[in-house]
């Protein structure tokens, strides 16, 4: 009898998980608000309902053996339903619900990192009282980073307060203030940990972000940060997932600071945008590894077989036009693969797809991905 895996969320990450499940003889059930979503079309079955619909979440739990997630912002209603089902012995949740609750709240995540003696930037958690932003700035200095406690991703929920005048624009309510990393390189490590504690990681990658929206734009594999830095990044990332007792695939975002420190920015308890290059360039993909980990199958290899670069297709006017009426799917031409997610171009910088290219080096792969992007958009200004 096939293992049945329920997935909370129906975006492109869920879609890729469902596709990976087919080769592993795993049945998938998606919790989705849209029966026609690309993820629902790739799943073995779909439960149509919102993530905060207790009845829909219960239906998901009734339809599967294991529940996992393609997003961390799982509502409390869903957590409660899944916790009761797990206590009754009808399902297992991986990563655990305790991990989800720790990671989805940035204050809890930061406190946990500090309590586990894992390197992170200095921070202050504010309750929304008058003067707390100024007090945080006095402690942490300028520029000051403010983060919403929940729901912030793809450039949302984060703002930079550059000086005292900017404090007037600080968001009210409970929030996290964090010291700015200064001059830094952003590195991601995709870590996989199985139920039996076997832990593996994909090679660290470099990330660059859109300057206006702070959305991930480019990934280069492998990172060229140097052997000592990459070894430290991998060690820190693995230590974090070990300490978390996590099961599944995790995206660990890190800063390599100008003073040499490697510190954790954030952890995502799920497959991650920075790991999409694994669909082309490594022994196994992050999506296959996640399913192996949560179902108890042996983990596969994670070695980089060829350098690669990934360019997100973020919603601009040109990309929206290129995406129009495109169904979800993959097309390949030589060393370049283009993925469309089947999303409507609803807002600026929404992820509508991605391009992955391989090459003799990450730089060469980047040039190939940039050329493919220019062909899509007619732009002459795109550079890797």
If you classify domain 4-93 with CATH, what class do you get? alpha beta
Res 269 pLDDT > 80: yes
Q: In the prediction, which pLDDT does 157 show?
A: 84
Res 381 pLDDT > 60: no
* Sign of CA pseudo-dihedral 253, 255, 260, 262: negative
Enter the tokens of residue 155.
């450039």
Res 346 pLDDT > 80: no
User: 282-320, pLDDT tens digit by residue?
Assistant: 999 999 999 999 999 999 999 999 999 999 999 999 999
Residue percentage of the chain with pLDDT more than 90: 89
Strand 205-209 relative to strand 184-193: parallel, antiparallel, unpaired? Answer: antiparallel
Asked whether the bond before 95 is cis by omega within 30 degrees of 0, the reply is: yes
Q: Show me where the domains of the chain are located.
A: 4-93, 122-179, 184-377
> Distance of CA 130 to CAs 149, 164, 170, Å?
18, 14, 11
User: 19-28, pLDDT tens digit by residue?
Assistant: 999 999 999 9
Distance CA 301, CA 202 (A): 9
Q: In the prediction, which pLDDT does 382 show?
A: 66
- Mean per-residue pLDDT, 130-151: 93
User: 73-120, pLDDT tens digit by residue?
Assistant: 999 999 999 999 999 999 999 999 999 999 999 999 999 999 999 999
CATH number belonging to domain 184-377 = 3.30.470.20
Res 150 pLDDT > 90: no
Phi then psi for residue 136, to 5 deg, are: -65, -40
First-to-last CA distance in the chain? 47
Lowest mean pLDDT, pick from 156-160, 289-293, 365-369: 156-160
Helix 106-115 vs helix 97-104: crossing angle, to nearest 10: 100
Res 154 pLDDT > 70: no
With 0-12 CB in 10 A as exposed, 13-18 as middle and 19+ as buried, what is 192?
buried
Question: Hey, what CATH topology would domain 122-179 get?
Answer: Dna Ligase; domain 1 (3.30.1490)
With 0-12 CB in 10 A as exposed, 13-18 as middle and 19+ as buried, what is 46?
buried
Find how far residue 371's CA is from the centre of its chain. 26
Mean pLDDT of the chain: 94
What's the whole-model pTM score? 0.95
Q: How confident is the model at residue 380 (pLDDT cuts 50, 70, 90)?
A: low
Q: In the prediction, which pLDDT does 229 show?
A: 97
Strand 351-358 relative to strand 308-314: parallel, antiparallel, unpaired? Answer: antiparallel
- Mean per-residue pLDDT, 7-13: 96
Distance CA 133, CA 140 (A): 10
């Amino acid at each position: 009898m096939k293992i049945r895996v329920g997935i909370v969320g129906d975006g492109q990450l869920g879609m890729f998980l469902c596709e990976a499940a087919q080769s592993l003889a795993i049945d998938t059930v998606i919790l989705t608000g849209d029966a026609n979503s690309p993820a629902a079309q790739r799943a073995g079955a779909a439960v149509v309902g919102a993530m905060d619909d207790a009845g829909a979440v219960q239906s998901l739990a009734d339809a599967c053996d294991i529940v996992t997630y393609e997003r961390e912002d799982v509502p409390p209603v869903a957590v409660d339903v899944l916790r009761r089902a797990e206590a009754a012995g009808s399902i297992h949740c991986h990563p655990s619900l305790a991990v989800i609750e720790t990671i989805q709240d940035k204050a809890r995540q930061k406190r946990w990192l500090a309590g586990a003696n894992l390197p992170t930037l200095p921070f202050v958690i504010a309750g929304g009282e008058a003067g707390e932003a100024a007090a945080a700035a006095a402690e942490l200095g300028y520029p000051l980073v403010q983060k919403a406690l929940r729901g912030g991703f793809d450039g949302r929920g984060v703002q930079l307060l550059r000086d005292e005048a900017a404090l007037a624009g600080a968001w009210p309510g409970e929030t996290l203030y964090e010291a700015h990393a200064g001059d830094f390189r952003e590195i991601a490590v995709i870590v996989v940990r199985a139920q039996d504690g076997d832990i593996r990681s994909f090679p660290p990658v470099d990330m660059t972000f859109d300057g206006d929206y702070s959305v991930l734009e480019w990934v280069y594999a492998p990172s060229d940060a140097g052997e000592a830095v990459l070894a430290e990044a991998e060690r820190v990332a693995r230590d974090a997932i070990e300490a978390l007792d996590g099961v599944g695939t995790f995206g660990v975002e890190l800063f390599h600071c100008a003073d040499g420190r490697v510190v954790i920015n954030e952890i995502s308890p799920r497959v991650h945008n920075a790991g999409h290059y694994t669909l082309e360039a490594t022994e196994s993909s992050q999506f296959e590894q996640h399913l192996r980990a949560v179902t108890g199958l042996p983990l596969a290899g994670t070695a980089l077989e060829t350098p690669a670069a990934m360019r997100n297709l973020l919603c601009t006017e040109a990309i929206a036009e290129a995406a129009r009426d495109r169904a979800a799917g993959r097309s390949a031409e030589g060393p370049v693969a283009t993925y469309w997610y089947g999303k409507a171009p609803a807002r600026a910088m929404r992820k509508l797809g991605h391009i992955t290219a391989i090459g003799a080096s990450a730089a060469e792969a980047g040039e190939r991905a940039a050329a493919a992007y220019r062909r899509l958009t007619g732009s002459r200004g795109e550079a890797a």
